[in-house]
Amino acid sequence: MTNSSGTKAQAFDVRLVIALLTGVYGIVLTVMGVGFTSGEDIAKSADININLWSGIGLLVFTALFVLWAKLRPIAVPAEEVERLEQEKKDH
């Protein structure tokens, strides 16, 4: 009973949405930093490959968010689950 409800709640966890968005952007920045950043671009940024380091930082941030969501999933109280199921039956 609570298992299917918990799965539905976890599917809409905003932490996973944020992780998806930052992960995609992190991948794009990392690829741009590795393959498409010229020496001239790096010279403009104080000899730091900003795209690469920003991409890696976003990927680490994404990994931490996913880990957080997996280790501390959303817990729907049993009373709330029972109340919602009762409302479904009443309608």
What is the rounded average pLDDT of the residues 33-60?
95
The half-sphere exposure of 59 on its side-chain side, counting CA atoms within 13 A, is 12
What confidence tier does 1 reach under pLDDT thresholds 50, 70, 90?
Answer: very low
The sign of the torsion formed by the CA atoms of 39, 45, 47, 52 equals: negative
What is the rounded average pLDDT of the residues 21-28?
98
C-alpha distances in Å from residue 35, one per residue of 15, 30, 31, 38, 40: 30, 8, 6, 9, 14
Percentage of the chain modeled with pLDDT above 70: 88
**pLDDT recorded at residue 7:** 55
Instruction: With a cut of 90, say whether residue 84 has pLDDT above it.
Output: no
What confidence tier does 85 reach under pLDDT thresholds 50, 70, 90?
Answer: confident
pTM (predicted TM-score): 0.75
CA distance 70 to 38: 38
